[in-house]
Structure 1
Amino acid sequence: MAEEPSPTPESWEQIVARFARFSGVVGEVDDPLTWGLDLVEEEVTGGADSADPTEERFLRSYRTFAGETVEVETLRVPATAAQVEDIVRAACSGALVAPLHADVDPAASPDTTDVTDLAESYRDYRSAMRAIVAEVDDVPCESREFRVDGEARRCMRVTVRDVTAVYSPAADRGVVVTGPTDLVDRVDVVTRPIRNLLHGEEGPRF
């Protein structure tokens, strides 16, 4: 059976155009080194022509020295009230699924709280993923305050296995912050114009 052709990589012009659609402010962790965070990824995800415009997001992904991940996603348009819960649950599920891998131990006990060990509680990646999504769906979302730009805003959040996902309004957009609960509760999230954080001073200006 012939292999499927690899998708055509985006041209530099297409990448710049995707970033340009986010002209204005986007979310980031203020002074990430204060929290032991290192910026490791900065990209636009999702499709611009989707029926759901909240799918297109500006992502900043940070990693702690211990290998934990904190992500700040800026939605190009704010989510509607009907979309927020699905967005928060999907973000939490995604964060929990990320460490899973296909090589799992079917003999391991499912009564474990460690996210990485959780993968070894199931026979394959898909069953583990389904179990995580079901677990996230069973946990009630909370309406609480979250600070963006130093201002407390009403937000929606869900926490499962010490991983929290938060949706909060921000400027004329929305931000989704996901990561270990203790970090999500402490980091300072701010909105600023897109800067060349990963491209260097000689890189393109967005």
Structure 2
Amino acid sequence: MDETEPRQGRWEPEDARMSRFSGLVGEVDDPLTWGLDLEEEAVTGHDDAHDPTCERFLRAYRTFAGESLEVETLRAAAADDVVEDVVRAAASGALAAPLHADIAAPVEPDGEGGARPLPDFADEYQDYRSAMRAIVAEVDRVPLERTRFAVDGTDAACARVTVRDVAAVYVPTGDRALVITGPADLVDRVDVVTRPIRPQLQDDERGSRR
């Protein structure tokens, strides 16, 4: 075996931060059944003893139609008084994702008349901030639902917000919690499970090279 390849079930050395996020994490069971492809797995945020929702393990999927669905595992469950903030922030983030892509890639292709002048970044940023404020205000107007969501085949109490057919769900799982965001109809259908953390993307890439 080529020793430069990642061993099955282990992280690359630069991903040691992931290996420290030990325990059970959320994922979509058999994602291909739902037309989902795993495109990212990462630890996001930072370790904060005062805010356990800061550091999360993310598995990001994309449908064949280009829609995004994310399953985040919080290292520790959120306090009851901040659950609503967590859900609404997740919904706002999902709705704002296209804005992030637009402002992160301000490159215009050459047209018939050559390169076109780019819009002023400051103006673009102000437009982005205005759009973000509008999204947050829209999410804040939607009532929070207290309902049920199945994890590991068992219904559990959850908090949910649905805006413009995008859903964000917060559900406790033991001493951790999951945040699932994506198209509402897809969130309602996928099977979400918790399993010991393992590097799925590296294993998939390794298998494709065999």
Q: TM-score range by the shorter chain?
A: 0.7 to 0.9
Give the aligned partner of residue 67 of structure 1.
66
Give the aligned partner of residue 135 of structure 2.
132
1:159-189: per-residue Cα shift (whole Å, max 9, x none)?
0000000000113210000000000011000
Q: Secondary structure at the match of 1:53?
A: coil
After superposition, residues 156-195 of structure 1 pair within 5 angstroms as 156-195=159-198
Counterparts of 2:63 and 2:203, CA distance in 1: 22
- Is residue 2:83 matched to residue 1:92? no
- What number of residue pairs does the alignment pair up? 173
Q: Secondary structure at the match of 2:22?
A: coil
For the aligned residue pairs, the C-alpha RMSD in angstroms reads 2.0
How far 1:83 moved relative to its partner?
1.3
How far 1:21 moved relative to its partner?
2.7
AA matched with 1:70: L
1:35-93: per-residue Cα shift (whole Å, max 9, x none)?
00000000000101353121100000000001000000000011111111000000000
Give the aligned partner of residue 42 of structure 1.
41
Counterparts of 1:28 and 1:171, CA distance in 2: 15
Matched-pair identity in %: 67
Counterparts of 1:90 and 1:49, CA distance in 2: 18
1:99-156: per-residue Cα shift (whole Å, max 9, x none)?
12348xxxxxxxxxxxxxxxxxxx7111111100110011111000000000000100
Q: Any unmatched runs of 5+ in structure 2?
A: 1-11, 107-125
Q: Any unmatched runs of 5+ in structure 1?
A: 1-11, 104-122
Counterparts of 2:59 and 2:205, CA distance in 1: 20
After superposition, residues 12-27 of structure 1 pair within 5 angstroms as 13=13, 15-16=15-16, 18-27=17-26
Q: Secondary structure at the match of 2:98?
A: coil
Counterparts of 1:202 and 1:38, CA distance in 2: 13
AA matched with 1:42: E
| Structure with a larger share of its residues in helix | 2
Counterparts of 1:173 and 1:54, CA distance in 2: 10
- Is residue 2:198 matched to residue 1:199? no
Counterparts of 1:169 and 1:37, CA distance in 2: 24
AA matched with 1:190: V
How far 1:190 moved relative to its partner?
0.1
Q: Is the 8 A contact 2:48 2:54 kept in 1?
A: no
- Is residue 2:145 matched to residue 1:142? yes
Counterparts of 1:186 and 1:93, CA distance in 2: 21
How far 1:22 moved relative to its partner?
1.8
Greater gyration radius? 2
Counterparts of 1:39 and 1:80, CA distance in 2: 30
Q: Which has the higher contact order (CA 8 A, sep 6+)?
A: 2
Counterparts of 1:38 and 1:21, CA distance in 2: 25
Counterparts of 2:168 and 2:196, CA distance in 1: 23
